Structures are given as structure tokens and as C-alpha cells.
Structure 1
């Protein structure tokens, strides 16, 4: 496996030149465009990695998986999906179109920004600090990495430049889709997006999902099989922004990407995969990371379809 991963990184590193770093969060421009790494965690707990797998990056939209899980655990699936839909959208992840022009007050799904803000707003806690500790501690537990924390520079950068997300949140508030103080909800959302991980961390998280909610290395169940199923299904249909359909056809693995360059992919009953490559395609997905997942899926017959 390690030799295969090393070959995939070597063969696809040149593709990083064809993409661009995320620019709408200025701090993300400090990443090295040429970085590329991959990690695989099999369900017996073995770790295989290659390339820049120890490089840290912020979760960004990958954190939407965490907030969705916690929202369902705190509220039940019926309450969550009263507030957020579960249908894919052909619009970009930060689009306002499906809320305003289409008069769709309920966000289409939890993987676009509006939907993720709505699920974050549903997480229980007496304060923003308590809610964030819940998000952070859950991430640490599932990854087995107690050193995980936020990148404060990225958090500040997101907070200073997050006007589109502010519009989305205030629009949701004005239509009673979310409750609570909008600025507190946004601050929590910016913090969760700024949690810093590496390829191995997200591969471990994905391996829990691949194992139906059980940590492969300890046997501990951390989420129910039903929640795991719901999350993986939404990852298939909505996890790769408005390239989700193409990704499902050509790669066929439940996955969630982030503009920090990470992709977390869960192959049911087989493995969790973490990829990092901050050079993005036009849809906001890691351009070389997507190629690695395509070749890995083809080589190991990973498609669930």
C-alpha cells in the first residue's frame, strides 16, 4: 500500500501547478501550492501514508461533517432536517441563489455554507465556548489526536473576510431558520472551519465512518450506525460541492472536501482516506488530491457503486 501511495503522489504532484490556492480567505494563500500528501487507515487500524502527509491544514468545509454529526446527536435527525435539506445543489458552496432567488429559506443540504451554519446553530451548549469545546473534543477523540486545535491566524482571517457567510446567516435568521445570536453562531462556524489537522487525522476520522461509527483502533462506538449512514450518504451526494455528481460517477466514494486543500473519504467496510493538496480546481476541490482518489479508486476498486 505504501508503495502505491508514494507512486500516486509522485505521479500527480505536477498537477498541483494547474490549480490555485483559495484566495477569498487571505491566510490560505500562505500554503505551499506544491504540497501533496495522502494517508490510508484500514479497518484493522493500520496507517499507510506518503508525501506531505504531516503538513497541517485547516479543515474548512470538512468540519461540516463534524457539525452535522453533533447536530443530529443533540437534536435527532427529524429536527435537523426540518431546518436543513438533504438534496444536492448545482450552485457553489457559498451561493445565495438557492436561498433568495429560489425563495428556498431552508438550505438545500448541510454541506453548503448556509446549511452548515444552520447545523452549527443546532449544537447544544450554554455558551459558544462550550459548543466549540464539544466540536474540538469530538474531533480530537475520533482522530486520536489531543493536540488538534484551531489555527488562530486562519480564524482571524476568516472572521475579517466572512461577509458572504454573514449575509447567509442573517438571511437565515431573518426567516427564522436559525435561532440565537448570529455573530456567536458565525464565530463558532469560523472556529470550526479553522481547526487544524493533517492527512492522517482526517483519514482516521474517515475510517470511523467507514467502520459504521466505531473507532477501528479501539473498538469504541462514537456515533450510531444510522448517523454514520446518513453522513456518508450526504457526503456522496453533496460533499464535493457542485462537482459531487461527477465525483460520484468517476470515483464513487463518500467524500468531503475543504478549500484548505483537504479531502476526507470513507470507503464503507474498507478504509478511511485523507488527502491534502492546497492547489484547488475551479469548484474548490484539491485538484491533485482528486486525481489521487480517482487513481486509488480505480486501482483498488473502491467505488461503492
Structure 2
């Protein structure tokens, strides 16, 4: 695709999708996220040539939530290598809700099906090098600073604390995996690192740049430095296609066809080779846990500009 999407077009499209914000519900099971307003919308595109266009509340920060799973996977692969990671976490889509424990009980030795569901993501966080939870999160933040060239990015203590205190199901997943030697060390420390990881805050422009780096096969668009190996970047993008939108990934692939990852904060990041990174934010979620506005906007964008990879 050679045409760029202008700021004026993004403004128009945000207004078209705004009414859909009330078709979903903000993630109120995490108390700190329940405060967000459904119509606080934003979109940004970081193009392959390094230029950025954005619209809406593009300076407002939101937490990465499950989008952090892709970044954590890249770091875990760099820390441990492909064989180590995939001995402990599988590569297959699940078709089940992101928080499901069902598949763990069906597999021996209780290996999570992929790194994008909660069980797999918790196992991946457990693999990141670091003696303490803060050391793991510090390394993940340094990695994100490198990807965005922005050292101001931090995690929200309020959101991390809110998630940690209510993460009973994630504790259950960790204890189940610890029983079967999928994870090691302290369950509480792994959960501490994971909730802080999910609570890392960015805006749509920063997130679009992360998407663009994956689209550019792990190479920074400004410095041309290889931050993630081409092979690992491809692995991450493949998981975005097959598992990135929870158990709606198949429908999203048909309707939109963009490698993408969503989070329950209402953010979605897309990554397209030779195009760049796309980030959309709209906190109202559908029944699958994906941003209602994000899905509508990405579908419009993909159809209008023929962005599907298929």
C-alpha cells in the first residue's frame, strides 16, 4: 500500500465509530480500569518511513495489559532461546477464553497452549531473567524504552496493585503450573512481575511505534538497529495472527487480516510489514475482551486500504 491515511480521515473515522463505544463495557473486574470513559478514543499510525499520524486522545496513557504478552515473549526468547521457551509453552491457538484453565487439565505436562492466553503469558513472565519481580519488570521496561526511544514509560502502581489484589484466577493458573513443573520459583513473585508488566502505561503513538518495530522485522526505523532478531519478530507476529485477539482471532483474521494484539484496557496494536504499526484505543470491550471501537476502526481501515495480509 502506497497511500497514507491522513489525519483528517482518522478524525472522520473516529467520529463514525464513536457510537459503537456504548455497545461494549469497560473492564470493571479490574477496579482501576473501571474508571475509564467509553468515548475516550485514540488512534495512531507509525509508518514504515518513520512518520506518525494520530488523532483523538493521543497523549492519554493506558495500560498495555495483554499487549505486554507479545513484548514479554520477545524478551523471553532473547533471554532463553526458542527451544527453552517452547518446551514450556505451546504454539497452538486455544479457542478458549484467555483466562481458561480447561486446556491445562487436558495436556501433559500441563503445558499452556500458547503465550497469548494467561497461563502461557504467566509462564513466559516466569522465564524472563531477573532475581526479583522488580528486576524482571525493570528489564522489560528498558526493552520498551529501547523499542520506543522513550525513557519516560513506567508502570502504574495503582493498576498493578489493583490487579495483584484481585488476581485469584491467575494465582490458580500459576499454582497448577508449578505443581507440574511448568514454572518455578515463587508464585506471588511471578504474579507481582506479571501484574506490573500488564500495568505498563503508553499512549497510542508509543504503541504504534512498537507495532512498527515488529513490522520492520525487529529493526528500529530511526537508527536501523536490530533490537529483536528477525526470526523472533516473525514468531511474535505469527502469534498475533493466530492468537492475538483471544478466541475471536479467527474472525478477526477473516474480517481484518492484520497481525494484532489486544488488551483489556481497550488497546489494540497492529503490525504490518512494509506499512508500519497501528494502535487504537477505546476502553469499551466486547464479550471476548476486545475493544469494540478498535475492531470497528481496524476493519474499516483494512477494507478501505486493502491491508489484509491474506
Please tell me the TM-score bracket, short chain as reference: over 0.9
Distance in 1 (alpha carbons) for counterparts of 2:181 and 2:29 = 28
* CA shift digits 1:13-33 (9 cap, x unpaired): 110010000021111001111
Q: Between 72-81 and 98-107, report the one with greater CA deviation.
A: 98-107
Determine whether 1:209 maps to 2:214: yes
**Structure 1 position 125, deviation (Å):** 1.8
**Structure 2 CA distance for aligned equivalents of residues 102 and 159 of structure 1:** 27
Question: Could you state the TM-score of these two structures normalised by the residue count of structure 2?
Answer: 0.96
Give distance in 2, aligned partners of 1:48 and 1:71.
Answer: 31
Tell me if the contact between 1:93 and 1:242 (Cα under 8 Å) persists in the aligned partners: yes
1:141-168 per-residue CA deviation (whole Å, 9 max, x = no partner) reads 2122211111111111001100000000
Q: Paired residue for 1:198?
A: 203
Q: What is the deviation of 1:104?
A: 6.4
Tell me if structure 1 keeps the 8 A contact 2:109–2:180. no
Query: Which of 279, 282, 303 is residue 298 of structure 1 equivalent to?
Result: 303
Q: Tell me if the contact between 2:25 and 2:286 (Cα under 8 Å) persists in the aligned partners.
A: yes
SS of alignment partner, residue 149 of structure 1: coil
1:166-201, Cα deviation, whole Å (9 max, x unpaired): 000110000000111111111000000000111111
Structure 2 contact 266–282 (Cα < 8 Å) conserved: yes
Q: What is the CA-CA distance between 1:99 and the residue it aligns to?
A: 0.9
Mapped to 1, the partners of 2:124 and 2:40 lie a distance apart of: 32
Deviation at 1:103, TM superposition (A): 5.8
Structure 1 equivalent of residue 51 of structure 2:
46
- Which residue of the partner structure matches residue 135 of structure 2? 130
Could you say what secondary structure the match of 1:282 adopts? coil
1:274-294 Cα distance to aligned partner (Å, 9 max, x none): 110000011000001110000
SS in structure 2 at match of 1:150? coil
Alpha carbons of structure 1 residues 104 and 259: separation in structure 2 relative to 1, 3 Å: farther
CA distance in 1, matches of 2:248, 2:234: 21
Trace 1:230-241 onto structure 2 (pairs within 5 A). 230-241=235-246
Residue in 1 aligned with 2:3?
none
Aligned to 2:30: 25
> For this pair of structures, how many residues does the alignment match?
305
The equivalent residue for 1:258 is 263
Q: Tell me if the contact between 2:263 and 2:290 (Cα under 8 Å) persists in the aligned partners.
A: yes
TM-score, normalising length: structure 1: 0.98
Structure 2 unaligned runs (5+)? 1-5
Residue matched to 1:274: 279
Deviation at residue 218 of structure 1 after TM alignment: 2.0
Partner of 1:220: 225
Matches for 1:1-305 after TM superposition, within 5 Å: 1-100=6-105, 105-305=110-310
Give 1:101 deviation, angstroms.
5.0
Comparing 93-102 with 128-137, greater Cα deviation is found at 93-102
Aligned-residue offset at 1:7: 1.4
Alignment gaps of 5+ in structure 1: none
Runs of 4 or more above 6 Å deviation:
none
CA distance in 2, matches of 1:235, 1:83: 19
Q: In the aligned structure 1, how far is the partner of 2:278 from the partner of 2:113? A: 26
Q: Secondary structure at the match of 1:298?
A: helix
